[in-house]
Structure 1
Amino acid sequence: MNELHVLTTGEAARYCGVNFRTVIRWIERGQLKAYKLPGRGDHRICVEDFVGFLRDNAMPVPTELAGASRKVLMLAGDPELTGAARQALQQEGCEVEIAGDAFVAGTLMAGCKPALLLMDANLVGVTGFQILDHLRSNSDFANVGVLVVAPVGERDQQRWLDAGADALISQAADRGELAAKVKLLLEI
């Protein structure tokens, strides 16, 4: 499959079944994120932004574009967790990046633009709640799903969900349960 990174307004319009001028209006109103090319000023839309726009507006995501949303960033310091989770996610066809701390995770968030953040609740140095607050307050990361791996017996699950996590899974969960949650969040 040819790797597709950006769309023209005409291509986006064909996917939505609308005139390209409608897509330009969405861009001008700030509803659809895009950038202008130098010279003529034509717009280009990143596929990840377009897929997020479609999901936000309850529009169907074409199958050839849905594949662009299989990137997972794992933020965890526990080597046992990262090894098992990475293997399970790769078996499901996900691209997995691993960050051992919040600084590296921030760099990878900007660079690889993951569709899902798998975050260990037992982070050292910065709390998961601070990370969730930052993600949910930044429009660039608003569409990133967050799955929190909570310690066994976590009593404050609702607090994670209220802070912006999309789902929780116990650290004792098996690979099958992890894969099922990830598939659900990525809509694979």
Structure 2
Amino acid sequence: MNKNDLSQPTFITVPRAAMLCGVSRNTMFQWVRQGRLKAYQTPGRTNLIRPSDLVAFMRENGMYVPPDLATLGDQESKIEAQYAMADVPEGTLKALVVDDESAIRSIVTRTLKEVCPVYEAATGYEALHLLTMHADIRIVLLDLRMPGQHGLQTLKEIRTFRPDVQVAIVTGYDAEIPAEVRAYTPSVRIVKKPFDVNALRQMVQEMKAGLAAAP
């Protein structure tokens, strides 16, 4: 892998961070364990580092920061501003749209914002991090086919550590829906592409109403 190839994912793995810092994986894992470098752990025990945290760490320790990494860190800081949702009262039910296609995320987010505040994630790893950090995310629309962690694995992890979340799988074809996903129905809904935005909005309204009525 090219050291400067940093277009994706949004998070950086510990081995990749070690390569960028020019140290061994063991050294990087030690820095994480010591708390010198902040990392987030998914329910699957994968350690992930935010680009902005890695950039700050490298600068503090006099390391060379590749321009692409610095740019990625700046982009991540802008995304963090979205995550804050400072104008939304704490505890307000929120939804999460998980899709690697930005155009799809944009359409779905615009539609769902009429129902509730919405977070976005481009990868399964990012989605799991957001679900770990924000207990008020109660509805997830999850694309099945994504680079990195497949939607099915993300679904399994959500079901393990956030059983309170309602999930809708978004997919293009019935044939690509694994039997393991179908086993979760009807608790997990299935949305087929291309979807009707009005039907999508209605579905999320029903999910929200169901959560509000739950004891």
8 Å Cα contact 2:111-2:197 kept in structure 1: yes
Write out the 4+ residue segments of structure 1 that deviate beyond 3 Å after TM superposition. none
CA contact (8 A) 2:112 2:118 kept: yes
Question: What secondary structure, in the 3-state scheme, does the structure 2 residue paired with 1:143 have?
Answer: coil
Alpha-carbon distance change, 186 to 69 in structure 1, aligned in 2, over 3 angstroms: farther
Secondary structure of 1:180's partner? helix
Q: Does 1:161 find its partner at 2:182?
A: yes
Separation of aligned partners in 1, 2:189 and 2:91 = 21
In structure 2, do the counterparts of structure 1 residues 157 and 181 end up closer, same or farther at CA, with 3 Å as the change threshold? farther
Residue 128 of structure 2: SS of its match in structure 1?
Answer: helix
1:119 counterpart SS class: strand
Q: How does 1:121-140 map to 2 (within 5 A)?
A: 121-138=144-161
Counterpart for residue 128 of structure 2:
106
Match of 1:149 among 170, 195, 205: 170
Measured on the aligned residues, the alpha-carbon RMSD in Å equals 2.2
Question: Would the alpha carbon gap of residues 68 and 176 (structure 1) be closer, same or farther in structure 2, given more than 3 Å must change?
Answer: farther
Matched, 1:95 2:117: yes
Shift of 1:102: 1.9
Aligned letter for 2:128?
A: G
Counterpart check, 1:176 vs 2:194: no
Equivalent of residue 82 in structure 1, options 85, 90, 105: 105
What SS does structure 2 have at the residue aligned with 1:124? coil
Q: Distance in 2 between matches of 1:70 and 1:176?
A: 20
Q: Which runs of 5+ in 2 are unaligned?
A: 1-89, 211-215
The CA deviation at 1:131 is 1.2
CA contact (8 A) 2:168 2:189 kept: yes
Alignment gaps of 5+ in structure 1: 1-66
Q: Which amino acid aligns with 1:177?
A: A
Partner of 2:83 in structure 1?
none
Residue type of the alignment partner of 2:103 = E
CA contact (8 A) 1:129 1:163 kept: no
Mapped to 2, the partners of 1:161 and 1:69 lie a distance apart of: 30
